[in-house]
Structure 1
Amino acid sequence: MFSLQFPEFHFRVIGRGRQRYIFDRVRRRYVKLTPEEWVRQHLLYYLIDVAGYPTGLMAVEKMLPGDSQGRRADVVVYDPAMKPWMIVECKSPDVTLSDEVFMQMVGYNFPLQARYLLMTNGHQCWGCDCSTTPPCPLQAFPPWPS
């Protein structure tokens, strides 16, 4: 597990009635601003602006293929060949990263078979490289494959 220190990002936030919405640059629309969405947007900005991951190879709230329950992965990053490369599960800042969250992410990876799995609550991040046996814990976000 490693701690996160996101730089300050400038988000577009609007109000509609009593609700606030934040612009999601991957989905290209405003979405309801919840604590989990706040974490997801910080993560997306970090991956795009700091780590150099391409926006065009990301999906947010991605429906899992063949899943009759309608489950969605928070963020899926694809490699240049359009294969799932990384899955990220975002949780609200008050949610503790746990084995239960990890098993949720593993379930998402079953149909996708991504190399990297990450979960974050905005304060901490835990991830692993699934290309090794056993999976190897990550100490930082994996570098984008050039």
Structure 2
Amino acid sequence: MIKVEFPAPTFRIREEDGKELIFDDLRKQWVRLTPEEWVRQNLIQYMLQVKQYPSAFIGIEKEIALGELKKRFDLLVFDRNHQPWMMIECKAMDVELTENVLEQIIRYNMSVPVNYLVISNGTYTYAWVKEKNRLNSITELPVFD
């Protein structure tokens, strides 16, 4: 497991039509503040502020094809050569990170191959690196090269 210390939140939040919205600085738009979005936004700030990942290399909720199915990954980090490098699946804090969640990101990885896979519910974060066709657990997010 990875110990993630989220930075103090400085989010812009507003209410519209009875729903809470949060401003996503990367997408430059207001998005619905769901429990999963809260985890995603905090994880983004951790990657930007603590791990120093460049914001221009982080993709959010893009559609991918899994056979005939269309799915959306939560976060995808690209390397300096603009190749997919790390995929992150976020879940709400009350969602247990089971083997099903890991299998979900592994399926996404078949469509978009990356070296690092991460799952997080904000309370717990687990990550793996692919080495010789095996997933090996790691204890911290890698440094962005």
TM-score range, shorter chain: over 0.9
Distance 2:109 2:118 in 1: 11
Residue 35 of structure 2 corresponds to which residue in structure 1? 35
**After the TM superposition, which of the residue ranges 3-12 and 64-73 deviates more from structure 2?**
64-73
Structure 1's consecutive aligned runs of 4 or more residues displaced over 4 angstroms after TM superposition are none
Secondary structure in structure 1 of the residue aligned to 2:73: strand
Secondary structure in structure 2 of the residue aligned to 1:3: coil
Change (3 A) 1:108 1:66: closer
Alignment map for 1:104-119 (pairs within 5 Å): 104-119=104-119
1:22 aligns with 2:22: yes
Alignment map for 1:1-146 (pairs within 5 Å): 1-65=1-65, 67-145=67-145
**1:22 CA drift (Å):** 0.4
**1:67 CA drift (Å):** 4.9
Change (3 A) 1:67 1:26: farther
Gap runs ≥5 in structure 1: none
Counterpart amino acid of 2:122? G
Asked whether the equivalents of residues 57 and 78 of structure 1 are also in contact (C-alpha less than 8 Å), the reply is yes
**1:7 CA drift (Å):** 2.2
TM-score, normalised on structure 2?
A: 0.94
**1:138 CA drift (Å):** 1.0
**1:68 CA drift (Å):** 3.1
Distance 1:47 1:5 in 2: 11
Distance 1:87 1:21 in 2: 25
Change (3 A) 1:78 1:65: farther
TM-score, normalised on structure 1?
A: 0.94
Asked whether the equivalents of residues 76 and 86 of structure 1 are also in contact (C-alpha less than 8 Å), the reply is yes
Asked whether the equivalents of residues 5 and 123 of structure 1 are also in contact (C-alpha less than 8 Å), the reply is no
**After the TM superposition, which of the residue ranges 37-46 and 6-15 deviates more from structure 2?**
6-15
Which deviations, in whole Å up to 9, do the C-alpha atoms of 1:41-64 show, x marking residues without a partner? 000011011111111111100111
